[in-house]
Structure 1
């Protein structure tokens, strides 16, 4: 028994299977992750090496060149770029697309282990470039007064709460300051007590260690021992014993406070954050690779709202929110998908001129879409503008098979057949035709899956989504549509369709003037081909996210103060633009992975009014 015959003669089974698919589709849709674009992992590795105190030229000669020589021998390397700046060397290696980055990383690691660098140069750090390294959300915190009042609160309370959110990989804070212990040695007192700077340094390091002390066996139990020697307060550090001087009656213990001034001071700032011209703290949220961007940013928003309620003097300004951008983008594509389906149904109604037939065909659209969600979920796809774009592209094709089937059933009923017989004969008659038509269309999209490189990763989900939706529409057209037609179409209400006289006249003229028709077709085709060079090309259309960014780079070596002065001038210009709502700026960056520049760089995010 063929599939159409089984579906028509067992309508209850067909309807139950349809409901099962709907339930699976709803569950799959609720579990599909939302993202802006498909997950793309470019084969790029960065080697970051720090050389504290060295200038760009020293870094280039002593770090960058040796690292480049080692990395350049890696298998599958396509291009190599480097940047040498004060204190830091950055080497970026790009491999052939499709290369296993993990293997490349192991290869580079083994080569760098053979590299002998000068003392004082830190071990190279290999970082795999991952789009998830970019912050999914950034927001500024200020209270209109001193940053010192809110920095402790942010670091001790807000940051831990953000880090506890499921899916958050790291939370970094730009701006503000850090504290460090500064020891001012008195050379005269050092000489009096026969001490040297090197000896004091060694004593401080030796008394600030925690190490294992072995295993103690007692009462059939083994206990791990630890020797704790951490200095956890500045007062303890001041009382650190350095030496003993014997006296007539006692032994004098010389402490650090006797030969030095010990105090807690602010470290030199390497980053400053501003919001609308006022100093603030800029918090950046990075998500885990497999986390849902929308859910992460939503939970971060909940934490921010809670802090707003508890600390009403604190001002939170969101400078970038990838979750909101994704929601808007996916919402726009979803709206296009919905309206496309409604317009398709309206066109079907106009041409079929039968409400019952239109309803039957219209039912096939949501069922096919829902079935597509099931296949997307089990294929590991995400809801993004590419996959939803493929679904929107295929929504018009979803009804093609159903229209062919319902029209042929309509024709057989017009031949005075019963509904069941007409549904079986009409569906079986065109089953081969619509199957071959669907497979032909799939043959256009499916090969995109096998394209390598960035284009393949980008359009793979679109091609798969179109393929899934067309396969679903074919199954629906061969099962659900004839089953519903056999139950719902009423024979007595059907009338033969009148001939379309206008189309008949055009067709007759074309057949009577075949040479002219062919010449016109060739001319139109040639004219269309000639217009191709006039069409602009771009990789991805520009998207208005409501934000524009300004990057500032001063001459190498510019300090934080001079960079900040330039930033403040740009802030004034940006804030005077009527359409700009929020201006956030970050000068320098403490995180070398996010910005290879130093105190001579700055970036702005500007939000127009919404």
Structure 2
């Protein structure tokens, strides 16, 4: 440790350049690090969603959820516990995995067993959606899409077909389906009296439509030098063609769809509605991925809104209904404000106790450099800028000046003993190296137990402990390198004036 002080006195420009690099690199890291309210909480949870329309919740529970759980617990390893919910036409199973389990392998086992259990479930059921859940994937913005000219069904189609694919290009964004409005589809409204008059049932109409509306490969045919693409005309291409579909032959006459029903392009039965100021509208809830920054995602959405308005029909209004970045900025600002206040008070107290502005500048310089070094270290550890990491740095502000203050005060004492400045720096550093190292280690060791925390508490408090420990280590190293270098030049003129 003493050799570092001698190197700092002999090669002062090396450590000045090191400090400049810390400032530049730390500032760049600070501007590009993901920013959020809390650290990333990556609890291993996998959700399996089964869809079987029309099935009652009791039947969903007995015929889907129960069977899937039986297969799941007999095959997949590392399960902590399971939460299942059975709804009308759907089943949601949340699988909480144990800490330390290979999530990728566990998800592969879940997908494999889900494909096998399909044979034991009700007929024609589709394979489930398997999704990884993360508490850090939270809604960060809400877009409102409204128009005075378009119907709710047209608004939903616009949001789903045009605006949503555009927003997907924002890095780190996760977009569920739009809320509100109605999904546009072809609606066939049967007339019961007309069906009875022609001896038809809804099933007959359904079977004919399923057979008629087919998309089959028709191939091509080569005639001389031209290769013609053969197009089948079994599938209607326009809404006006649907009523001409023949349903039944009665002697030499045909019964068409128009004789027993009306066909329209309209929204399906609306299952959810979004009202803003008493008016139906469509909203898109934007979520962020676990590693993404809330500020970056919201900024990307704001930049995409003008482009979304350009590709939308005239009269469509798109505005940001909710913005989580405001809360994030306010939270970060409050913590930074407290940190700056603590730094200013610490500098003032040091100035009053030491009584020299030169010594105060030296001590005060170590605070931002230690904080920037801690931010660089947190970036290497793949942490984010959040309330917990900044809170740890704010707690460490008052402690960061201890190493530099003790060093400057001891140098000043040796100068008062009549020693030359450089010799006073060397003797002062040698005298306090062990006490300051032990004091720094004692403060750092206090935070070690936080690394043993598990669950949500571990994800929250580990970054705080990392911030404090890295800042303390940086403060100690700077007190052995940069502080002697600055003391050699700033206290030199002060020593000459006093002589």
| Normalised TM-score (structure 1) | 0.70
Contact 1:140 1:280 in 2 (8 A): yes
Which runs of structure 2 are paired with 1:590-605 in the superposition (5 Å)? Answer: none
Select between 378-387 and 150-159 the one with higher mean Cα deviation. Answer: 150-159
Which runs of structure 2 are paired with 1:401-412 in the superposition (5 Å)? Answer: 401-412=403-414
- Indicate the SS of the match to 2:46: strand
Which runs of structure 2 are paired with 1:187-206 in the superposition (5 Å)? Answer: 187=195, 196-197=204-205, 199-205=207-213
Give the C-alpha shift of residue 204 in structure 1: 3.1
- Indicate the SS of the match to 1:41: coil
Select between 94-103 and 336-345 the one with higher mean Cα deviation. Answer: 94-103
Cα 1:422–1:281 change in 2 (3 A) is same
Cα 1:228–1:410 change in 2 (3 A) is farther
Give the C-alpha shift of residue 481 in structure 1: 0.5
Contact 1:147 1:281 in 2 (8 A): no
Cα 1:230–1:294 change in 2 (3 A) is farther
Structure whose residues are more often helix by fraction: 2
Q: Which residue of 1 aligns with 2:51?
A: 50
Cα 1:432–1:455 change in 2 (3 A) is same
Describe the superposition over 1:480-517 as per-residue Cα deviations: whole angstroms up to 9, x where unpaired: 1011111111215559xxxxxxxxxxxxxxxxxxxxxx
- Pairing partner for 1:383 from 375, 382, 385: 385
Q: Which residue of 2 aligns with 1:554?
A: none
- Pairing partner for 2:415 from 413, 416, 433: 413
- Gapped runs of 5+ residues in structure 2? none
- Indicate the SS of the match to 1:358: helix
Contact 1:210 1:229 in 2 (8 A): no
Q: Are 1:28 and 2:36 counterparts?
A: no
- Gapped runs of 5+ residues in structure 1? 496-610
CA distance in 1, matches of 2:361, 2:137: 48
Which runs of structure 2 are paired with 1:443-458 in the superposition (5 Å)? Answer: 443-458=445-460
Contact 2:180 2:273 in 1 (8 A): yes
Cα 1:180–1:189 change in 2 (3 A) is farther
- Pairing partner for 2:129 from 97, 109, 125: 125
Q: Are 1:181 and 2:147 counterparts?
A: no
Contact 1:40 1:131 in 2 (8 A): yes
Cα 1:162–1:106 change in 2 (3 A) is closer
Give the C-alpha shift of residue 63 in structure 1: 1.6
- Pairing partner for 1:424 from 426, 449, 463: 426
Cα 1:259–1:278 change in 2 (3 A) is closer
- Indicate the SS of the match to 2:126: coil
Cα 1:326–1:204 change in 2 (3 A) is farther
Contact 2:212 2:235 in 1 (8 A): no
Contact 1:423 1:483 in 2 (8 A): no
| RMSD (Å) for aligned C-alpha atoms | 3.5
Which runs of structure 2 are paired with 1:289-328 in the superposition (5 Å)? Answer: 289-304=290-305, 314=317, 316=319, 318=321, 320-328=322-330
CA distance in 1, matches of 2:61, 2:132: 22
Cα 1:176–1:346 change in 2 (3 A) is same
CA distance in 2, matches of 1:368, 1:258: 82
CA distance in 2, matches of 1:431, 1:196: 93
Describe the superposition over 1:347-387 as per-residue Cα deviations: whole angstroms up to 9, x where unpaired: 11111111111111111111111222222222211101111
Q: Which residue of 2 aligns with 1:364?
A: 366
Q: Which residue of 2 aligns with 1:233?
A: 238
Cα 1:486–1:278 change in 2 (3 A) is same
Select between 13-22 and 333-342 the one with higher mean Cα deviation. Answer: 13-22
CA distance in 1, matches of 2:111, 2:159: 37
Select between 44-53 and 340-349 the one with higher mean Cα deviation. Answer: 44-53
Q: Which residue of 2 aligns with 1:107?
A: 109
Which runs of structure 2 are paired with 1:133-172 in the superposition (5 Å)? Answer: 133-142=137-146, 147-148=151-152, 154-155=159-160, 157-170=162-175, 172=177
Cα 1:226–1:435 change in 2 (3 A) is farther
Higher RCO, Cα 8 Å, sep 6+: 2
Cα 1:113–1:167 change in 2 (3 A) is closer
Q: Are 1:349 and 2:351 counterparts?
A: yes
Contact 2:40 2:136 in 1 (8 A): no
Q: Which residue of 1 aligns with 2:490?
A: 488
Contact 1:162 1:171 in 2 (8 A): no
Describe the superposition over 1:423-456 as per-residue Cα deviations: whole angstroms up to 9, x where unpaired: 1221122122212221222222134234333322
Give the C-alpha shift of residue 340 in structure 1: 1.1
Contact 2:187 2:268 in 1 (8 A): no
Contact 1:141 1:315 in 2 (8 A): yes
Select between 88-97 and 132-141 the one with higher mean Cα deviation. Answer: 132-141
